[in-house]
Each structure stands twice: as C-alpha cells, then as structure tokens.
Structure 1
Amino acid sequence: MASSHSPRRSHHDRLLSWAGQSPAEFVLGVAEHQRFVDGLAAEIGAEVPDAEALRALEAEARALTEVDLAVELAIKLALSRRLVLDHPGRVHLSVVFAVYNEHHRLGRPEAHPHGEDALARKIEQLDALVAGCPSWSWDLTVVDDGCPNGSGDVARRIVERLGREDQVRVLFLRDAIAEGGPAVQGIASVADSRKGGAIHLGMWEAASTSREGHVVVFTDADLSTHLGQCGRLVAPIVSGDASVCIGSRRESESVVVKGGARDDRGRLFIYLWKRMLGALDGVTDTQCGFKAFAASSVRPWVESAIEKGFAFDIELLLLAERASGAPIPRIPVAWIDSEEASTTVDLQPYLTMLQSVAALARHHRVADTEAEPFVRLVEDLDEAAWQRLQDRIPEAIVAKEPLELESLGVVVSAEALRQVSGLDP
C-alpha cells in the first residue's frame, strides 16, 4: 500500500517550513544572512543526501511562490556540496576576481554603507564548500585592475589580517605590465584594461601550477554569486565531460534578484551580439561572473585573446566553443544583484562591449553574410545614436524573453535599426 505521506508532500511541507525561518529581507552581503543560508544548506543536505533528489527539490521550490530566495539558494548550495562529496577524485579550485574601485565593498559594513566584507565572505564560502573533503582544495587570486583607490592594497591588508596568505594572493596589473609576458600582451598600461586584462592575468597565474583536477574559476568582486555553488559549476569539467562550464541567470532553475534597470537594453544587447557572432549555441547570459575552465586550457586561450575590456567573457567562450566543437554547458545559478557600488552599472558599457564583439567577429572571422550588416551597424554607432536606439528598442525585440532571442533569427533588420538610431543607410 502506498504511503499516505509521499516524498513530494514532505518536501512541500519542509519547503514552507524553511521559508518561514528565512530573514524577512534576505541580503547575502549581511554576514548573519549568509550564516543562515549556509546553515540551512547543511540542514537540507543532511535531510536530502542525494543529488537527484536535490535536483527534484530545486524544481519543486521554483514552482512554489511561497519559497523565498534564501531557501532556493540553500538548496543550490546543498546540491553543490553533495556533488563535491560524491566526486571520487582530487580537485583543486583556483578562483580569480578583479578589483577596481572595490575598496569600500571589500571593507566591513560598519565601515561604509557599501561594505560587504566581500573577500572574507568569499573565503568563508570556499572553506565551507570543501570542509571535510581532503581531496578538494582551493586558492584565490585577487587582481587589482589599476584601481586609483588602492583596492589591491585593501585586499592585501585583509588577507594579512585573516592570516590566509597561504591560499590568497593579490596581484597588480601594473606590475605585470612592467614585467611583460604573454598574459599582458597588447596592454601598454592599466588604462587599456577594463576588467578583461586583470582577469586574463589572474587566470594565467592561477593556471601556472600543474595540479590534478585543476579548474580555474573567475567571479565578480561582489557577493552576487555565492561561491558555494562552485561544486556544481565545475562538475562537468572534473567529470571529463567539458573543458568549460558557465553559470547562467537565464535557465529555468535560475534564481535572480536584480534591479529594475538594464532589462530591455539587455535584450537588445543579446539580439545584436547573437546576430554578429552566430555562435555560442544556447548561451544568452555571457556576462554572469561565474565561469569555470579546465586549467590546462586556460593559457592557450588567454594567449589567443585580444579583448581586454568587458567583452572578454564572450571571447573566451568563443575560443572554448571553437576548441571543443560542442555547446558550452550551463548551470542555473542563484544570483543577487549588488548594484549600489557596482562599477559596471556606473560605466554603462553596453555600446563598448558591442563594438568589442564586432571587433571579435572581424578578428576571429565569424561574421557571415547575414552578420555583416549588424557588424557594420555596431561599428557605426556613436553615443548619440546608441542612446536613440536604446530609447526606442523595437517591440519585436523587447517583447521576447532572453531565451527566445537565441533562435529568433533576424526579426528586426540591421537597416531598420540604423533608421531607429538615426544613422545613414
């Protein structure tokens, strides 16, 4: 006789119970909230000690409107941790992030309104991920991207205060440029880098030591993506199924908390880069700061890369897809926007990024007959034309979900977009 208390009903009740325990307004940058979600992840992992059952729980949580962000993140952390525990071999994670005007974010909340104690929190997240798993280890590389406010120096002092010099190092792009080398080729000064140069340097240095099961991960300086999700991110790589895997905010199981801006422009950005490159099948979120690469692949790709700005992600993915000939695996992430001190929001880099993508299409010779008009459109855009275009994005683009833009084809021609932007035909 079937049990009257089915596993699904049990999960439903537990999900509601966990949601009732969550902080009223969950903020990952608040230390107490991080401790809550980490503790809940451990509790969930103990109750549901099976990866497939955790995936089912993840899907069930997504379908329940009463389940909040903290619970959904905790489930993802429990699944990530389970994949770490279940992996039979050795794994070493090298995590990299760049800092530019992050001096406040790196500090404690009591020292500044934008303080997140971000470096200390990242260390805690990595410690928790591999705790009790001697076959897993990690190191962390912070790269100062020429910050005028000494973000690298702030990071170095935090590392010393925490006594973690054995696992965490701070590099300065300016020093690497002065010394020269393949990682910084094409960069004459820190002004030539907009994050990409710093990440290239960090990845290059992280991959310099040969280790069994070595994976290089890059992330953002803020706490938008909990690093406890790394176990899931690197799973396709350490299993030998892929050489790269990316976190995506646009999967059905993704959990995203984001400010109200940038959405329509984001659709326009996806539409244009997809039309120019015609590559990266299935990928619509190129800018999520959570990507993993087999360390053995890092140096050849960094050495081949020309993009040192915010579009560096796209080029690395393009190189990875070309090398493998297969679609790039994606995992759904929990991602909580941290806009208050975001350097990218202040810089509004969409036009710069699109023009970088146009240059990549030329350099890597991916532009075809259909793509060429879009490449020329983007090359011709100036700030005024771009402003006109983003103020009047055609409804055929705005009305589509990001995932639909993948296979949409040309619904608005480059010529029509030239008209909207006020450019000559």
Structure 2
Amino acid sequence: MQPTRDLTDPEQNEAVLRSASALLADAGAAVPVAVDAEARAVADSRRRLAALTGPVHLTVVWAMYGETGRMATRAQHPHGEDFVRVKVRQLDWLTAGLPEVTWSILAVDDGCPDRPSSAEAMAAIAAAEGYPTEGHRAVSVLRLADVLEAGPSISPAFDTLTSTDQSRKGGSILAGLAVAVAAGADVVCYTDADLSANLAMLGSLVAPVVAGEGVVAALGQRYGMAGAVLAKADGPSVEPHSTGDKPDKLIVLFRHVVRAMLVPDLAHVLDTQAGFKAFDAAALRPVLSRVTAFHETFDVELLILLAQAFGPASLVVEPIVFTEDLAATNFPSVDPGARHLAMVEQVVQLYDRLVAPVAPATGEAADLLDLLRGLDLDGYVRLVEGLRAEDPGDPTLFDRRWPVARLRELAAPPR
C-alpha cells in the first residue's frame, strides 16, 4: 500500500475526508497509510467537536510569505497545494451539521515579495469562490504593512515596528490573533499556510479549550507523545522514530533541554513551535499586549506568558498528524548553524526577561545558563556534533538530560 502523503494531490486531500466520514459511519475503505492516519485523527476531531454544547466561533490565522506557489493548484505550480480552497473544504467538513460551531479565516501577508503578492493572490481566490467577507465562513486577508502603518495597536513592542522586515512570521501571527480576538472569536487558532496540518483536526484542539476546566490553550504536537504521527517522505512515523530518526535530532533535543531547564513551566510541551495551536480568546486578549518577540520563538514567549498568568496546567498538549512539507521551506538546514544557535539564545533572552525575575535558575540549570551565555557559534557546532557522536545506542529522547560538565567539554575548542 502506498505509504506517502502528497499535499499537492487533490484526490488525496479529499480522500482524507472521505475516509474520515467512512470511519465515523463504521465503513472504512482502503486508502494510503498516511491518508489513513490523517483520516483517523480527523474523525476523532469531528467526534470531539460534535460533543460540545453551546455556540463557539473559531477563527483560523496563518502568515504568508512567498506562498503564491503553494496557493496555486498542482496544475499551475509544481508545489501547488491549492491550500485556500482545501482549508475551506476541511473546515466545512469539520463543522457540517453543527449549527452552533462557526468559523472564519484570517490570513496575514508578512510583506510577501511575490508579484502578485500572497495577499493579492488569496484575495483573488476568495473573490472567485464567493467566500463571505464577514460572519460564518468568512475568508479575509490582512497585510502586516497596513497594520504597522495604520493600526490597530497590538502591543507597545509591536507598535514600535516600522517594517515587515523587523517582524518575521511572529509579527503577522500576533497581528492576526489580535484582530481575531477583537472581532469576537471565542477560540483563535494559528497554523501554517501549507496543508501540513489538516484543519479538520481542529476539533481536537477546540474541545479542551471550550470544555476543559481551566484550559486556555491546546497545543498540537507533531512528535514526542503517543498518538502523534509525523508523515515523512517515506511514510508516517511515530515515536521513537519520529524524533529518533530525524537528522537534526540532537539539535531538537538540546533545544528542548534548554527550554525545560530554564523555563520549567513549559517542560511538558515538547513541540513548542508546531504551527497548530488553539487559544481561548478571552485569556489571550490581555497576554497579547505583553508580547515583545517577533522572531522564531515568538510562540515560546506567548506560552510562557500564558503559563505564568494561568498556570502550566492551563496549557494542554494534543497529538496531531503532521505532514512534513519541505518544498519552498524557509527553515534552517539540519546541520547546526547560526539560526539554530539564535533560537537557543532567544530562549535565554526570554528566561532573562520573564523567568529570572520570578524563578531564577539554580543548581544544574544555573550552570547550563552560564554555559549558554558564553557559547559562540563554533562552540555550539562542536557541542551538537559531539552529542551526535555519542548518540548511537542511546534510546532516550525528550527525557534525556546531559551533565553540564559534559556539555562544556564538548563545546570547548580542541587543545
């Protein structure tokens, strides 16, 4: 049976929903392995959403930069996923027959250089499809440049930005969240522009936020926990293979150790930066005004602020099926480099500003902090390569903790 998941294949995208419908009706049919895993997650999501009572409006936000290719169909572009129409179809399927569940989409153009821009291309698709501009099933586009020029005000730090180049993806997501909250959404989700995470799985995030006592955020996890499936080029993978077989495994695990030791409130969130999160809008409103980071770790700051305001238990994790979509990616390589070190340094900066004033590091965590403050790029590369050399035969993943003394030895320049 074909194991792979092709996000550019409209038949596969529809097959997920057909298979999920069959699962809900106890009439499953043979489909590719990766499609089956996604369909099962989608069916469970629908069950959980249908069990909720009371009205709820969900707004889905994503950022766009250079997304005109993936926005096109596969017939128009080799990487075309037709993601606007497919996302609408996924949300329609999820909410069909649930009159008290409504949704809207708000995409934010992050200064896209394409011509036409991502905003222009998406607006044209929405107009051609006749999607509403407000209310249930509304599909709209926001340009970050317009927000920076004319508002609304997002936060004191955000309001100092003068260019989309200063924000990266974080500024767009935060602007979209703030606008969605102000417009009256009950639950706000952000995701990636591509189809890596099927929006029909959102019921599994909305349910704990709406029905869970004290839950303010549900965070999709691509790996690190039971039920999470990472669909790779050679087929779907679960732990210990999802993380254990990643070429950048030690980069991921070391970054988690840094987060877990310096920010213990987030130690249970193994996949902090998965682009599939849902938030209670009322809880999010006062926190957004305090966010100051707009780079790769903006969402880590957001989670820290929520955990400090509502307690670590208010952040729950949910397994998802996530398809790796490396076409046209803007992410760093799998080899340790400056952008990976920058993400570690950003965690240290968040610790200094948010955690140290209330819960300063002690013991081994303080020793780790001291090491990180003096870690340059060459030392970081040596450290990761040293961890890789020692890795064979070690089955532990996110539970792994290295003695700081050993990390110092690995980072030290050769004599």
- TM-score, normalization: structure 2? 0.85
CA shift in 2, pair 1:383/1:83, >3 Å = same
Aligned counterpart for 1:237 among listed residues 198, 209, 212: 209
Letter in 1 for 2:12: H
CA contact (8 A) 1:101 1:343 kept: no
Match status 1:278 vs 2:272: no
Residues 173-213 of structure 1 show CA distances to partners (whole Å, capped at 9, x for unaligned) of: 111111242343342321221211111000000101235xx
CA deviations 1:258-297 (Å, max 9, x no partner) are 3643222111221222222222142111111111100112
Cα distance in 2 for partners of 1:157, 1:377 equals 51
Return the offset for 1:44. 0.5
Match of 1:100 in 2: 65
- Please tell me the residue identity of whatever aligns with 1:176: V
In structure 2, do the counterparts of structure 1 residues 194 and 382 end up closer, same or farther at CA, with 3 Å as the change threshold? farther
1:307 aligned residue (282, 290, 293): 293
The aligned residue for residue 421 of structure 1 is 411
Which residue number corresponds to residue 297 of structure 1?
Answer: 283
Per-residue CA deviation, residues 67-86 of structure 1 (Å, 9 max, x unaligned), is 92222211111111112222
Hey, what does 1:386 align to over in structure 2?
380
Alpha-carbon distance in 1 for matches of 2:130, 2:342: 40
Equivalent pair of 1:26/1:70 in contact (CA under 8 Å): yes
2:308 corresponds to 1:322: yes
Q: Tell me the equivalent position of 2:323.
A: 336
Matched, 1:163 2:136: no
Superposition RMSD on alpha carbons, in Å?
Answer: 2.5
Q: CA–CA distance in 1 between the matches of 2:119 and 2:376?
A: 34
Distance in 1, matches of 2:84 and 2:208, equals 27
Asked whether 1:118 is paired with 2:97, we answer: no
Please show how residues 139-158 of structure 1 align to structure 2 within 5 Å: 139-149=104-114, 150-158=117-125
Cα distance in 1, alignment partners of residues 65 and 123 from structure 2 = 14
Select the residue among 365, 368, 371 that pairs with 2:361: 368
| 1:176 pairs with one of 141, 147, 150 | 147
Provide the secondary structure at the position in 2 that maps to 1:381. Answer: coil
The residue aligned with 2:230 is 256
Query: CA, structure 1 residues 239+143, in 2 after alignment: closer, same or farther (shift >3 Å)?
Result: same
- Deviations 1:144-196 (Å, cap 9, x if unpaired)? 11222222222222222222242111111111111242343342321221211
Contact kept? 2:63, 2:193, Cα under 8 Å = yes
Where does residue 13 of structure 2 map in the other structure?
Answer: 34
Equivalent pairs counted in the alignment come to: 380
> What's 2:399 paired with?
404
| Mapped pair 1:76 → 2:50 | no
SS in 1 for 2:398: helix
SS in 2 for 1:207: helix
The DSSP-based 3-state class of the residue aligned with 2:289 is helix
Task: Give the SS at the match of 1:364.
Answer: helix
The Cα offsets for residues 215-266 of structure 1, whole Å up to 9 and x where unpaired, read as 0001111111111100011111111421111111221111112364322211
For the residues of structure 1 that align with 2:332 and 2:85, how far apart are their CA atoms? 24
Question: Letter of the aligned partner of 2:300 in structure 1?
Answer: I
Stretch moving more, 339-348 or 169-178: 339-348
Q: Which residue of 1 aligns with 2:220?
A: 247
**Does 1:219 find its partner at 2:204?**
no
Q: Report the counterpart of residue 86 of structure 1 in structure 2.
A: 51
Identity in percent = 30
Superposed displacement of residue 383, structure 1: 3.1
Q: Distance in 2 between matches of 1:114 and 1:219?
A: 19
Is the contact between residue 248 and residue 285 of structure 1 (CA under 8 Å) also seen in structure 2?
Answer: yes
Runs of 5+ consecutive residues of structure 1 not aligned to the other structure: 1-19, 49-56, 58-65
Q: Tell whether the 8 Å contact from 1:245 to 1:330 is kept in structure 2 after alignment.
A: yes
